[in-house]
Structure 1
Amino acid sequence: MQNFTFSNKTKIIFGQDTEKTVGQESVVFGKKLLLHYGGGSIKESGLYDTVIQSLKEQNIEIFELGGVKPNPRLSLVREGISLCKEQDIEFILAVGGGSVIDSAKAIAAGVNYDGDVWDFFTGKASVTDCLPIGVVVTIPAAGSESSTGTVITNEDGWYKRATGHLAMRPQFAVLNPVLTYTLPSYQTACGVTDMMAHILERYFTNVKNVELTDRLSEATLKTIINNAHKALEEPTNYDARAEIMWSGTIAHNDLLDTGRIGDWASHNIEHELSGIYDLAHGAGLAIIFPAWMKYVYKQDVNRFVQFANRVWDVEIDLNDLERTALAGIHKMEEFFQSIGMPTTLQEVDIDETHFKEMATKATERGPLGSFVKLSAEDIYEIYKLAR
């Protein structure tokens, strides 16, 4: 196990009607607030009115910026930064899913920076501080509600890049499973896949003697797997929605990182797909992760055997460990298919046209991954495996 420091300041406010507390939680950080959200769903559901009423009860001055898209755009981030600077905004409240939260984080990071916020995503500059952020989660998936990172897409070249800093952790996160009842099945499934991928990025490590976080990761994966179909078949099943929502937070709040070194190649490989094709991130991960596994499993067959046995209940064949490892990967593909996720690029009409371009872009700052270091040639082969 590696040395580590674990600190997570995000206050989690979980349960029914908790969105009614946003005013009292927000006013602590200032009286001028940017309300950041996506399309019209929060207005149609009544959540917008609830949030506005709660904020007004605390006499908070509200400025609004909607329009966040999946794979959030740099242009809107820049617009938000300008608005915050012009109006001396003191606090940002993000109401939505991971895209809205990521957009809010990027805005918060850029407000006190004199250069272009994209500098943080290219490595030209480092985030040092942020405006404080609060969130109301409507889509359990990205775990951005208590993580240190953000991912933004630059329309100039369609680069999808990440950056992070401890200051990006939201001050509080409101998680009400009821707010997820009306999610389309596809979005629910994409969220399930995304949170599973966050765990898998940490699970496949070369660090030895990490039994506790192995077991925590496996338990969180099994909880998601056990509740995914319940949530899809019974959208108003509070208990299933609650288990999935809390699992999504645990998957990405850094607890499962402790003492180990994660990989993160699959996320970066997928970012090129969703950057160019605007594919849902969860759907892209359902395609890329099995292909990555098939490409790298021989690096540590025993870890893949453990994954197959503990997560998917595959019986270990002591005479053929590779067979067991591959059976676990196949079980995961079957699960993704069972919840309506694609597992090949053909299913989403993506051909080989941009494979080499994406592999080159993915490695512009060096090889990807920690479990196995991947070159552009390796990533090209993974795209071909995913075809």
Structure 2
Amino acid sequence: MLNFNFYNPTEIFFGENQIAEITKAIPKEAKVLVVYGGGSIKRNGIYEQVSEALREFSWGEFAGVEPNPTYQTCMQAVSKIEQEDYNFILAVGGGSVIDGSKFIAAAANFSGESWDILSKGAEVTAALPIGVVLTLPATGSESNSFSVVSNSGTHEKLPFASVHVQPKFAVLDPQVMKTLPQRQLTNGVVDAFVHTMEQYLTYSVDAKVQDRFAEGLLMTLMEEGPKLVSEDVDYKVRANVMWSATMALNGLIGAGVPQDWATHMIGHEITAMYGLDHAQTLAIILPRMMTEQKEAKRGKLLQYAERVLGLDITDEDNAIASAIELTEQFFNSVHMKTRLSDYGIGEEAVNKITEQLERHGMTALGEQQVVTLEKSSKIIRESL
């Protein structure tokens, strides 16, 4: 078991039976609002553990945060906070619940129009404190200051970031993964993998430590991911995947290196328009993004091919092509589809998604801002 302050300000409680630690982590005078999703925590025993840990606290609950949390639902929680004077949020769930809780925490202390936080980048100067009980390893949201929220009325999915919504603590108990359905486990593996790639597959700045950390995460996910979605899974596999997902986006591997995120920006628009899971969109776009950017990213693609995949890179073009193919095969190995057509989405999506990118100013994506609207359109078309 681990209990320590890591790279960032979030205190991590990692290991079996760590949910009880929230009793010590939350201030005794706090009035706690427990925020969760569809109610699975009441079927798998997590709700009972949280209730026991909060036995001596004044607390209430807000349920119903969706996958891809909506602004509309989050604002219902804000109203509850205002009416009942909650001053601490405990997010019990995966990335969507945590992202939603971050927006709720910010909006509850925001004096203007809350949507401006997302649509106009309005500054968040204060927020309610947040704690997390993680139930699905994927986004790394439990230990960073980023959030993405959707507007169901306008079909927008927009991010924001603020140090004020960084969780104070996060409980990571790999045992909670035992009851997760395969789809959520698959999403978690793919999400963590692509998060790592967005910070690794750029261009070299001779950041050897960051590269090796990222490569270790990629190799771990490729080794353990297929095991996680098999029928016989042990605690160590769950623990390694859960820790990889947290490490993929807690700021460590991205410190001091260029970052891409073009795949994510296109993926957000697909989710907003068609409702696909976040990880599903990433698995669709990344292989095509790698192909489109193979010259701009040649050096890092060869490094990935050699160090992570163990390929002979003497024939550089063949090595790069093989690396892209093996990446897509990895997604398939964890039962993730990699084409828009796999989800019944046709050619009409190309213009719709491209128009949304333009609407949101996403016209020069990537670490070198060379992914133009024309290139994005091509990537989407080749993802059909």
TM-score, with structure 2 as normaliser: 0.95
The 2-side partners of 1:26 and 1:353 are apart by 49
Distance 1:334 1:204, change over 3 A: same
Superposed, which structure 2 residues align to 1:105-184 within 5 Å? 105-184=102-181
Contact 1:204-1:371 at 8 Å conserved across structures: no
Contact 1:182-1:235 at 8 Å conserved across structures: no
Q: Secondary structure at the match of 1:227?
A: helix
Q: Secondary structure at the match of 2:297?
A: helix
From 338, 342, 363, the counterpart of 1:343: 338
Amino acid at match of 2:50: V
From 355, 361, 382, the counterpart of 2:350: 355
Q: How far 1:236 moved relative to its partner?
A: 4.3
After TM superposition, what 4+ stretches of structure 1 lie above 4 angstroms from structure 2?
none
Q: How far 1:124 moved relative to its partner?
A: 4.6
Specify the alignment match of 2:21 in structure 1: 21
The 2-side partners of 1:357 and 1:345 are apart by 13
Contact 2:14-2:171 at 8 Å conserved across structures: yes
Superposed, which structure 2 residues align to 1:1-387 within 5 Å? 8-28=8-28, 30-56=29-55, 59-234=56-231, 236-317=233-314, 320-363=315-358, 364-366=360-362, 367-387=364-384
1:250-281 CA deviation, whole Å, 9 max, x = no partner? 00000001111201110010001111111111
Amino acid at match of 1:199: T
Contact 2:204-2:299 at 8 Å conserved across structures: no
Specify the alignment match of 2:3 in structure 1: none
The 2-side partners of 1:370 and 1:122 are apart by 22
User: More displaced, 243-252 or 111-120?
Assistant: 111-120
Q: How far 1:235 moved relative to its partner?
A: 5.3
1:225-254 CA deviation, whole Å, 9 max, x = no partner? 111122222454100000000000000000
The sequence identity of aligned pairs, in percent, is 36
Q: Secondary structure at the match of 1:92?
A: strand
Amino acid at match of 1:359: T
1:134-193 CA deviation, whole Å, 9 max, x = no partner? 000010001000011000010122101100011221000000000001111121111100
Distance 1:157 1:50, change over 3 A: same
Alpha-carbon RMSD: 1.5
Alignment gaps of 5+ in structure 1? 1-5
Specify the alignment match of 1:3 in structure 2: none
TM-score, with structure 1 as normaliser: 0.94
The 2-side partners of 1:266 and 1:132 are apart by 31
Contact 1:302-1:321 at 8 Å conserved across structures: no
The 1-side partners of 2:276 and 2:21 are apart by 34
1:2-32 CA deviation, whole Å, 9 max, x = no partner? xxxx96100000000101222221235x421
The 2-side partners of 1:132 and 1:235 are apart by 38
Q: How far 1:86 moved relative to its partner?
A: 1.9
Aligned residues between the structures: 377
Alignment gaps of 5+ in structure 2? 1-5
Q: Secondary structure at the match of 1:255?
A: coil
Contact 1:202-1:260 at 8 Å conserved across structures: yes
Amino acid at match of 2:225: A
Q: Secondary structure at the match of 1:136?
A: strand
Q: Secondary structure at the match of 2:65?
A: coil
Contact 1:178-1:236 at 8 Å conserved across structures: no
